[in-house]
Amino acid sequence: MANNSITAGAPRETPNDGTGLVQLDPWLGPFKDSLRSRYSKAQQWIKTIDETEGGLEKFSKGFEKFGFNVRDNGDVVYREWAPNALRAYLIGDFNNWNRDATPMAKDNFGVWEVTIPGKDGQATIPHDSKLKISLVVPNDHARQERIPAWIKRVTQDLSVSPVYDARFWNPPKEQAYVFKHPRPPKPLSARIYEAHVGISSPEPKVATYKEFTKNILPRIKHLGYNTIQLMAIMEHAYYASFGYQINSFFAASSRYGLPDDLKELVDTAHGMGITVLLDVVHSHASKNVLDGLNMFDNSDHLYFHEGAKGRHELWDSRLFNYGSHEVLRFLLSNLRFWMDEYNFDGFRFDGVTSMIYLHHGIGTGFSGGYHEYFGPGVDEEGVVYLMLANELLHTLYPSVITIAEDVSGMPGLCNPLSLGGVGFDYRLAMAIPDLYIKWLKEKQDIDWDMGNLAFTLTNRRHGEKTIAYAESHDQALVGDKSLLMWLCDAQMYTNMSVLSELTPVIDRGLSLHKMIRLITHGLGGEGYLNFEGNEFGHPEWLDFPRAGNNNSFHYARRQFNLVDDQLLRYRFLNEFDSKMQWTEEKYGWLHSDQAYVSLKNESDKVIVFERAGLLWIFNFHPSTSFTDYRVGVEQEGTYRIVLSSDSKAFGGHGNIDESTRFFTTPFGWNGRKNFLQVYIPTRTAIVLALESTL
């Protein structure tokens, strides 16, 4: 991925044809035609939607037109897009599942509609009762029952069948949840805690929204994260899909509780000043027919591309047709719905690489050559959908955050539409965890390459914000190992008690776990992410109940009890993580300029850099400590330690006197104006700040 700087010179007027990115990155010059093409397609959609729908703002309120809506007089209006169907009927508990009692009428656009009259201002369809749409389709003229596409609640009774039931969710107004807290302001530094409600309990079960609110939110607050990224919320039929095979896009998963319980979770987080993001899956959909969107009106191409183009061969799922007017309405309204109904603050878009390339990233290694990001391999319709989604969200919600999960490094992903960018706030730095896993698998500690480490952490596109992480949910899944498992392996089960010997393996594991996280936090990006449990080195991988493990919940849980046990060493890692987050809160390095790396010493295994006025010193050497080690620093003055990985509070040896005052000497060193001298023990990191900032 190129790390290009903005070219110097007088400010130029930004062209209004989508080629503004070229001013930021001249290497994009040869691809102006591609930039113009995607930009003009986005503008054409905006113009079309303005003319036919009254603008993006109205267009994205599709949930007020489609699905079930209750009028003030109690009338229930139900609309569904199913152009291929010959006849349609609404069936359910309310009409004793009579297949012919409630016929629907079809308009010229293939939209079916029916109104169920209210009585005395109340809906005659009972709240939470079951219903379906019954369609007569061409060819066999057989009846097919489907779950309404815009349904807001579905439930599953696994004792009867894995297939979901649609519910008419219309609680009495006096029972509806009322939000108490405003959205928090957009955080200057995004410190993200990636979490999954269902696994958020030490007990072998599916945890609930209520339990997450009561038990996990206070932990996240203590740790100092200011943003939560919630996974697997959009309803998915198969729990073991980790929430990535969505069948009902407007329904919050019922396996964790009621819709209002999720609202309370988000609202409580807001009351703590925590931003809440939703992991949104618009890259593909479950291929379920009975309770998904697939073959909804018996056509292969309603929401999806027809044939092979509409199928993801690795994910065994369906692919959206982003060039379809009604599909755009569905997906943009889906984003709007989660923002308005549940008060989410933004989204992490899953599988962006799959959305923006026709090859979906399958069998493609991205070398960083710009030709890979433009031309015939790009799915321009997918790119344009993401442009529209970001434009909509950032126009309506000033504090919104959007994050792209893209493996390819597509330029302009995190630049605004006005410049020809796709409009995300952040992208994930997916190369960083890969480096750590590769080294822990293949290299001796003495062979770790300091230059390569610093390069991987700083290699990001200028002007596009990146979220760095040492490990996410991807590294926690069954078959892989968390960093602490790579570091400590079997000894995690025998030597994590403070009553047992601190073996060389555990000592190394604790030390490197802290150092890897700290250098990633300080050097790796403009945001930081951690997956739930990894902050304290959760000992086991994540594996959901499935046939292959006898439907066991043993690995589908997070053992927070390990942190609370004062006799276990996990608490040291937990407290170090908390100290790291709160120190960032004070000094704000994530929203400061990129670091200046003054030293990458291969023989000493030392890295030194400055960021946000702090001096960061890392000694990765497995056996050598250094006394009076000279490090350069630009700003003169008296420095003190604000964070030491060697502190006994964090499971270190306490070899560093943290009350030491370090005085600079005005003599150039490593390209800096001053130097100071420090003691850095083996496998230790320290962060120094000017005494005046304490």
Report the alpha-carbon distance of residue 299 to residue 294 in Å, rounded.
8
Whether residue 411 contacts residue 25, with contact meaning beta carbons closer than 8 Å, is answered with yes
Q: Which of 350, 471, 507, 577 is catalytic?
A: 350
Which token pair is 286? 């479950």
φ/ψ of 193, rounded to 5, equals -105, 110
φ/ψ of 683, rounded to 5, equals 50, 55
| For helices 32-53 and 325-342, angle between their N-to-C axes, nearest 10 degrees | 80
Phi-psi region of 307 (alpha: psi -120 to 50; beta: other; left: phi over 0): left
Q: Which residue has the tokens 């309370």?
A: 264
Phi-psi region of 616 (alpha: psi -120 to 50; beta: other; left: phi over 0): beta
Whether residue 118 contacts residue 74, with contact meaning beta carbons closer than 8 Å, is answered with yes
Whether residue 458 contacts residue 594, with contact meaning beta carbons closer than 8 Å, is answered with yes
Q: Which residues pair with 615 in a beta bridge?
A: 610, 688
Q: Which residue has the tokens 């986005």?
A: 42
The sign of the torsion formed by the CA atoms of 204, 206, 210, 213 equals positive
Query: What torsion do the CA atoms of 437, 442, 446, 450 make, to the nearest 10 degrees?
Result: -50
| Distance set, CA 245 to CA 208, 248, 292, 319, 643 (Å) | 20, 10, 10, 11, 42
Give 650-653 contacts, CB < 8 A, sequence gap 24+. Answer: 650/514, 650/572, 650/573, 650/575, 650/576, 650/579, 651/510, 651/569, 651/572, 651/573, 651/576, 652/510, 652/511, 652/572, 652/684, 653/681
Whether residue 109 contacts residue 178, with contact meaning beta carbons closer than 8 Å, is answered with no
| For helices 259-271 and 325-342, angle between their N-to-C axes, nearest 10 degrees | 60
φ/ψ of 113, rounded to 5, equals -145, 145
Whether residue 237 contacts residue 183, with contact meaning beta carbons closer than 8 Å, is answered with no
Q: What is the number of helices (H) and of strands (E) in the chain?
A: 16, 29
| Distance set, CA 75 to CA 70, 98, 122, 245, 507 (Å) | 6, 20, 8, 34, 67
Q: Is 350 a catalytic residue?
A: yes
Q: Is 316 a catalytic residue?
A: no
* CA distance between the termini of the chain: 38
Q: Which of 279, 297, 405, 526 is catalytic?
A: 405
| Distance set, CA 389 to CA 311, 392, 402 (Å) | 23, 5, 10
Q: Which residues, including other chains, have CB under 8 Å from residue 440's CB and lie 6 or more apart?
A: 483, 486, 487
Which of these, 688, 595, 582, lies nearest to 643 by C-alpha position? 688
Which of these, 238, 325, 333, lies nearest to 282 by C-alpha position? 333
Strands 246-252 and 317-318, sheet pairing: unpaired
Strands 130-136 and 143-146, sheet pairing: antiparallel
| Active site amino acids | 350, 405
